[in-house]
């Protein structure tokens, strides 16, 4: 379609500031042959002309990128790391997790959602890194 210079009263597509969408407008005023003020046909609001965004050209079809490891492989690796870290620890001696509790590195804790975990690192002032069967998580604590 050829570039047609609109005149006053001609319809144009514009982004309406009141409707918050692209609607049909009529040109109210022009400056150097370009629309400056427009009136929305939906809400009848008059505002500055905001051209409708031109959609980007579609990307050429390419094969989807594969991740280095699949989610299943990451999950399996996390479970294996957890089992190795737990070793011969007595799982019945796990402390119940509370955000107001204090924990030490290599301490077992029982989280109500994530289950049994091993404190890997205490991060001052109030966080701990805990290794669970499904991976490493950062939790809040008292210190």
Closest by CA to 94, choosing from 131, 69, 65, is 131
Whether residue 131 contacts residue 120, with contact meaning beta carbons closer than 8 Å, is answered with yes
Whether residue 26 contacts residue 11, with contact meaning beta carbons closer than 8 Å, is answered with yes
Q: CA Rg, the chain, in Å?
A: 30
- Provide the pLDDT for residue 61: 66
- Provide the pLDDT for residue 105: 92
- Provide the pLDDT for residue 86: 87
**Which residues, other chains included, contact 138 with Cβ-Cβ below 8 Å and sequence gap of 6+?**
123, 127, 128, 129, 130
Closest by CA to 23, choosing from 6, 43, 3, is 43
- Provide the pLDDT for residue 54: 64
Neighbours of 117 (CB within 10 A): 27
Strand (E) or helix (H) holding 84? helix 71-86
Full pLDDT tens readout for the chain, 143 residues: 456 777 788 888 888 888 888 888 888 888 888 888 999 888 888 888 888 776 666 666 676 666 666 788 888 888 899 999 888 889 899 999 999 999 999 999 999 999 999 999 999 999 999 999 999 999 999 87
CA–CA distance, 51 with 39 (Å, rounded to integer): 13
């Amino acid at each position: 379609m050829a570039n047609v210079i609109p005149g006053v009263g001609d319809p144009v597509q514009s982004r309406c500031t009141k409707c918050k969408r692209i609607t049909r407008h009529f040109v109210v005023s022009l400056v150097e042959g370009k629309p400056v003020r427009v009136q929305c046909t939906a809400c009848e609001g008059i505002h500055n002309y905001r051209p409708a965004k031109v959609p980007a050209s579609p990307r050429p079809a390419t094969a989807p990128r594969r991740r280095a490891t699949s989610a299943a492989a990451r999950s399996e690796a996390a479970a294996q790391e957890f089992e190795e870290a737990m070793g011969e620890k007595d799982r019945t001696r796990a402390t119940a997790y509370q955000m107001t509790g204090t924990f030490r590195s290599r301490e077992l804790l029982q989280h109500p959602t994530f289950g049994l975990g091993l404190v890997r690192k205490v991060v001052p002032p109030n966080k701990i890194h805990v290794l669970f069967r499904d991976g490493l998580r950062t939790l809040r604590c008292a210190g």
